[in-house]
Amino acid sequence: MPADVLRNARRIVVKVGSSLVTNEGRGLDETAIAQWCYQLAALVRGDAGAPREVVMVSSGAVAEGMKRLGWNTRPQEIHALQAAAAVGQMGLAQMYETKLREQGLGSAQVLLTHADLADRERYLNARSTLLTLLRLGVVPVINENDTVVNDEIKFGDNDTLGALVANLLEADALIILTDQKGLYTADPRRDPCAQLVHEARAGDWTLEAMAGGAGSGIGKGGMITKILAAKRAAGSGASTAIAWGREPDVLLRLARGQALGTLLVAQTQKKQARKQWMADHLQLRGSVIVDAGAAAKLRDEGKSLLPIGMTAVEGDFSRGDVIAVRDASGAEIARGLANYAAAEARMLCRKPSSAFEKLLGYAAEPEMVHRDNLVLAAGSGS
Ligand SMILES: Nc1ncnc2c1ncn2[C@@H]1O[C@H](COP(=O)(O)OP(=O)(O)O)[C@@H](O)[C@H]1O
Ligand SMILES: N[C@@H](CCC(=O)OP(=O)(O)O)C(=O)O
């Protein structure tokens, strides 16, 4: 069954590390990037089973920037690293844009910080934008926004970012491509007897003892960040594969269910994981009261909550906060993330989405709570 994890994955986040992207710091590896873009296009077209949605998380900005600035050694000064990232990111974006376009795919640059994803409003905005890009058939190419943060550039790694993106989009799988064949029982650069781990449970603490730091001097995280990323991705139900980025057709073969590299299998189902996440992380900030028709749509048909079915709004909440959805008697039907703040929600009660733009001065989501962000209360349906 583990092989099915990738074969059945419909939404896949692929992360590639700096050492691969920049050929160990020698400069953007055009052939390798072209190869991944070819495979991404094949995945989108459905050449490896059902069509997939793909998101690319690519490192390499600092390494490429250093090359372009003629620096041979990684500077200590944080602002110099940030400057290098800003220079290098131009090259990265340009290269992915060109190679994806050659495959007939549109691309979009998205720069994110961990703080963006911890802030509920920005979290929802990032999620809506990325989902819109996927609906448009455009491949988001994501990196850290190194200009505005410096903790990540110092310690950071894009493995964590890959996992956060997998959480954000509830991806089915995270594929981390690196310069080794997968996770070994010890760092293979140091221990020639190290054995490849083919499969394990994501979050298995014994894996952490196997991982050493980065081996290349170009990448930052090493294996430990990949193992922790797999654990984090499993929190929203995504399994992680760690594989060698230069393995021929690596993405296609993984997506066909071939055993390559290391598979770290998530133990929780996506739906269950989402419920847990909402229960653990978020406090209730308010409620909306809905009529019987809306209650039935939520309970029986698994639909989103539209403002037309809302009769009242209680409390003071912001976009991205968790609210309860209650029926006229006050019984809780569901909880979910509000797309609109309380003041706006009050204006939208009983209104069709065609009226939103006039009322608010802008047009956003037609739903008050999207069904993907909604968890039914126990005894209220599926
Ligand atoms: N147990 C392990 N198995 C495989 N690689 C390991 C292990 N422990 C440490 N490493 C090192 O991690 C490196 C990959 O991490 P890193 O250099 O950060 O790559 P990337 O840029 O792909 O994120 C490998 O080159 C290897 O030397
Ligand atoms: N965001 C930065 C640093 C990321 C980084 O070193 O990550 P990785 O190579 O994945 O361990 C960059 O693009 O250079």
91 lines ligand 2 (CB under 6 A): no
Ramachandran angles phi, psi of 103, nearest 5° = -95, 5
Instruction: Mark 173-207 as b/e (b = at least 16 C-beta within 10 Å).
Output: bbbbbbbbbbbbebbbeeeeebeebebbbbbeeeb
With 0-12 / 13-18 / 19 or more C-beta atoms within 10 angstroms meaning exposed / middle / buried, residue 262 is buried
Q: Look at residue 372 in the predicted model and tell me its pLDDT.
A: 83
25 lines ligand 2 (CB under 6 A): no
Ligand nearest to the CA of 84: 2
Ligand 1 centroid vs 325 CA: distance in angstroms?
46
Task: Give the nearest ligand 1 atom to 225 CA.
Answer: 18
Candidate from 183-187, 268-272, 347-351, 361-365 with smallest mean pLDDT: 268-272
184 lines ligand 1 (CB under 6 A): yes
pLDDT-derived band at 382, boundaries 50, 70, 90: very low
Residue 360 CB-half CA count within 13 A: 22
**Interval 194-212: pLDDT, tens:** 999 999 999 999 999 898 6
Element (H, E) at 253: helix 250-255
Q: Look at residue 212 in the predicted model and tell me its pLDDT.
A: 67
Q: Which residues pair with 106 in a beta bridge?
A: 138
What is d(CA 139, CA 339) in angstroms, rounded to the nearest whole number? 24
For residues 158-180, give the mean pLDDT.
94
Among candidate residues 158, 190, 186, the one with its CA nearest the CA of residue 174: 158
Q: Look at residue 28 in the predicted model and tell me its pLDDT.
A: 97
Query: Is the ipTM above a cut-off of 0.85?
Result: yes
Ligand 2 centroid vs 19 CA: distance in angstroms?
9
- Residue range 2-273 forms a domain whose CATH class is alpha beta
Strand 53-58 and strand 138-144: the pairing is parallel
**Interval 41-98: pLDDT, tens:** 999 999 999 999 999 999 999 999 999 999 999 888 989 999 999 999 999 999 999 9
Q: How far is CA 187 from the centre of its chain?
A: 27
Whose CA is closest to atom 5 on ligand 2? Answer: 157
| Residue of 74, 180, 196, 228 best suited for mutating to test ligand 1, as the one with most atoms within 8 Å of CB | 180
Among candidate residues 3, 18, 1, the one with its CA nearest the CA of residue 260: 3
pTM of the model: 0.86
Ordered by start, the domain boundaries in the chain are 2-273, 282-376
| Residue of 18, 216, 244 best suited for mutating to test ligand 1, as the one with most atoms within 8 Å of CB | 216
**Interval 112-166: pLDDT, tens:** 988 888 787 888 899 999 999 999 999 999 999 988 887 666 555 799 999 999 9
Q: Is 158 annotated as a binding residue?
A: yes
Classify domain 282-376 at the CATH topology level. Answer: 2.30.130
161 lines ligand 2 (CB under 6 A): no
